[in-house]
Amino acid sequence: MTAKAKTVTGDTAPDSINSAPTRLFSLDALRGFDMFWIMGGEEIFHTMAKATGSPFWGSIANQFTHPDWNGFHLYDLIFPLFLFMAGVSTPFSVGRELEKGKSRQQLVLRVIKRAFILVLLGLVVNNGLKIMPVSEIRFASVLGRIGIAYMFANIIYLYSSERMQMVWFWAFIIGYWLLLKFTSAPGYPHGDLTMQGNFASYMDRVILPGKLYLGIHDPEGLFSTIPAISTGLLGIITGTILKKTGLAQMKKVAILAITGVAFLIIAQVWNLDFPINKNLWTSSFVMQVGGLSLLLMAFFYYIIDVLGYQKWSFYFRVIGMNSILIYVSGHFIKWSYTNNGFFGWIGQLIGDPFNAVAMAITFVMVKWLFLYYLYQKKTFLRV
């Protein structure tokens, strides 16, 4: 799909600058690529590392874990990349409705409604549907953070110019850095960034009802959602660039790629004073995952929407078009039971130690076939 919304082959894609694209196939593919890893893709590498005992596979599998506190593994990218892509879609969804004549007030209500639904889904994912005391409920969640950060980023998009969106982006992460640098939990020195002493975790202990994921800290806490708004805003700014008319496609790719590299450099420098830390969603973490998200978006956009090579991405697009559904499905469907029912014989046939690898592969296959069936039926969970 080019900027004229026309399906092309890799040999014929024009570098159109005359009209805005109506849909980015690359966005669906990248979203599916992102979700692939948490629908079971990472387990393939974990089982391979265990089966072989190889340091090579072990080092790869280690990238599909989260560091205990400071540091960065590739697995840390999955959550912020999804939030980034929610932002990228904004100019193509909310922006299009604005162009059609819907009022900002109408769209703000729609955005708030979506955030509310995501927060509720997050509660269900965390706690199930059973009734329990408030003290036992975990209110913070991945979907809740996506909903809240998406909501504030979209409100800024609706009421701010492109320049002011960039100002807000920097204001949130610089303000957050300064706040954590000159504050702390009571009894700790200013700038303390330990789990016990940092100001963000302390505020969550004070503000959030119910329980925190780690008792004294929640990686999806309310206070650390502040810099996550910048992750959503970066996606919105990126989507605005990709939607722009009068801007050549290759120039869009260059802007995203160069900015991505610049962000990664800034992240490493900032890391010296404000460590890259997913748990606190530190400002250096925003720059790190922002840079990687921009590079991935540039790559997928270039291959799929500029060159027109779309067929290879179909596998990921099937996942990406039902990403929320597959994320919450594990709380309603016993995928391991289904996998064993259909493909348990494969594991028995192969035997130790690679039977676990085979079952990890078929586990992802079962989920994908379910999503493919829904894709064929044009059934998608929209929030």
Question: Distance of alpha carbon 355 from its chain centroid, rounded?
Answer: 31
At residue 22, the pLDDT reads 59
User: Token pair of 356, please?
Assistant: 């676990």
Q: How far, in Å, CA of 117 to CA of 96, rounded?
A: 22
Which residues of the chain fall below pLDDT 50?
1-19
Burial class (CB in 10 A: 0-12, 13-18, 19+), 130: exposed
Residue 191 lies in a domain: yes
Instruction: For residue 106, give every residue at least 6 positions away whose Cβ sits within 8 Å of its Cβ, in sequence order, or none.
Output: none
pTM: 0.90
Tally the C-alpha atoms within 13 A of residue 55's C-alpha that lie toward its C-beta.
0
Residue 2 lies in a domain: no
User: Token pair of 43, please?
Assistant: 């387990």
Residue 3 lies in a domain: no
- Count of CB atoms situated within 10 Å of the CB of 277: 23
Residue 16 lies in a domain: no
At residue 246, the pLDDT reads 87
Query: Would you say 113 and 258 are in contact if contact means Cβ atoms under 8 Å apart?
Result: no
At residue 129, the pLDDT reads 81
Q: Which of 139, 97, 93, 143 is nearest to 117 (CA)?
A: 143
Residue 8 lies in a domain: no
Query: How many domains are contained in the chain?
Result: 1
Residue 224 domain boundaries: 25-376
Q: In the chain, which ranges are E strands?
A: none
DSSP string, 6-58: ----TTT-----SS--S--HHHHHHHHHHHHIIIIIHHHHHHHHHHH--HHHH
Residue 61 lies in a domain: yes
Residue 4 lies in a domain: no
Residue 338 lies in a domain: yes
